[in-house]
Structure 1
Amino acid sequence: MRILLVEDAVDLAEATQGHLARNGIACDLAANVAEAGDCLAVQRYDVVILDINLPDGSGTDLLRNLRRGGNNVPVLMLTAQFSVDDKVSAFALGADDYLVKPFDHRELEARLHAMARRQQADKSGDTVIGRLSYNAVSGVVRADGERLDLTRREFALLGMFVRQRDQVLSKERLLEGLYSFDDAAVGVNAIELYVARLRKKLVNSGVGIRTLRGLGYKLEVDD
């Protein structure tokens, strides 16, 4: 999962990003509306966490513009004060959830997963490819009926292949899906490592990850 956190409180933003990263969630940071717009212009997100009060405008204005532009990314609004009027306004504009600061990072993470599951409600059943069964909502992957033990990043990587199984995915595209902009030290070698690990776990699944030299990788059913 990759999210965008739009928050101008540096300590809160970095602490949240760190917690999510430790739990396998890539999180990009934007300190204001303008930076958020730049991120949204170049990257697709599973969820946007949006503070209401920002230095260069209101988070609700950004939310309004997203919905007017046809962007239906799930949005969780943040505010430092409990205000029923703020909540009603945010939901009317298309917000999906609401959290009052200060908050527990565990609750935030749980809400993010719930929002992502709701977004994939139309894909809630198992996706079967070969002898592989993948369920994005339950987080369960099986091969020949046996559950595979995948790490969070391996599951996320497999999810990208499953959702785009007719496409060749470059290392750069996979890197974007697994890591945030702030993970500058992470290179494409990390993708090679995760692909290699995932290949080993898919040995008895009836599918494999094919390398297309110079292009990237593609999920294919074994012959």
Structure 2
Amino acid sequence: MDLLSPFTDPAMVAHYAESTPQKVPGFADLQRMAMLLLAEHAPGPADILVLGAGGGLELKAFADAQPRWRLVGVDPSAAMLDLARDVLDGRMTQIRLVHGVIDDAPAGPFDGAACLLTLHFLPQAERLRTLRELRRRMAPGAPLVVAHHSAPKGSDIRRWLTRSIAFANRDGGDFAQASATAATMAQHLPVLPAEEDETLLAEAGFSDIALFYAGFSFRGWVATA
């Protein structure tokens, strides 16, 4: 399965900005928490890298809250970057968009970085490589904020994915259909147990790794480069 294919589908891209906040519990609050965790280290003018920035939602949230930040958004989907340009109308003076993956990101050093709802698409080895490349582009002591699907320790990820899908449906909870969808997702998404996610962050060179967000199958961490 080509994991990029949904992000090139015109119908999916057209509804992304509307549908994504419905799928992630506390989506707006997650973005605000990510911004605050970055701003804690970079309260003034700062260079911030956003990996997986297609759609522009977190870039918009960051730019509105921190007008002195210089933001670089990287994404492999040209269609999603086109959507980001629409979402970011009037804010592009502080934002640079880059078509590609982490290897195409500027060398930095960046004062902070975020990777939201992205790493669960990457197999374990590629996820570790991506985190290492993120770390290499960050200034010492800079914060990294990540959030993505992750299984709580010792639990069945399909059960947690089912709960997330039922949450997104907003139809009273059709758990049979949600369970079938979750089984398909679990086959194609390389979702890791939370402890493995934390281990990868440490292996990539990050320290002070701390969980700051949890919502059904979604987990978020902040770590220090």
TM over 0.5: no
Between 1 and 2, higher relative CO (CA 8 Å, sep ≥ 6) is seen in: 2
Q: TM-score when scaled to structure 1?
A: 0.34
TM-score norm. by structure 2 comes to 0.34
Structure with the bigger percentage of helix:
2
